[in-house]
Amino acid sequence: MMKMKGIHCVLPLGLDCVRRLHRADIFPIIIFIGQSARSARKLNQSEEQLLACSRSEEALLDKLPCLHRRVAPDAWSDHGSLLAGLRSIIWEEQKKIVWVEPDLW
């Protein structure tokens, strides 16, 4: 795994990956994009599959040993507004100081 300062990427990972990232001293900005049937249609995804995945991951969010941000389903109307909202959240989050406890898990 290669780590470089100042490099960002978007990874559509499940929350179970957070533990492995922390062990590698990578502390991700976690953004949960809430889903509704209407927002799933906007993304041209299978509604049932996307909503089921969203519900299962959302239940795990509060168990994480780190902070996360949420984007409400009604906070965006198309791909452009979703991306603009994500950029704004990332900009805010990367300015914050991250306190890390040894042996988080």
Q: Which two tokens stand for residue 70?
A: 């949420």
> Is the confidence at residue 105, as pLDDT, over 70?
no
Local confidence band at 55 (pLDDT 50, 70, 90 cut-offs): confident
Local confidence band at 37 (pLDDT 50, 70, 90 cut-offs): low
Local confidence band at 1 (pLDDT 50, 70, 90 cut-offs): very low
Statement: the pTM of the whole predicted model exceeds 0.85: no
Kindly report which listed range (6-10, 72-76, 78-82) carries the lowest average pLDDT score.
6-10
> Is the confidence at residue 104, as pLDDT, over 60?
no
Kindly report the average pLDDT of the chain as a whole number: 74
Cα–Cα distances in angstroms (integers) from residue 55 to residues 20, 25, 103, 104, in the given order: 22, 28, 28, 25
> Cα–chain-centroid distance for residue 64?
12
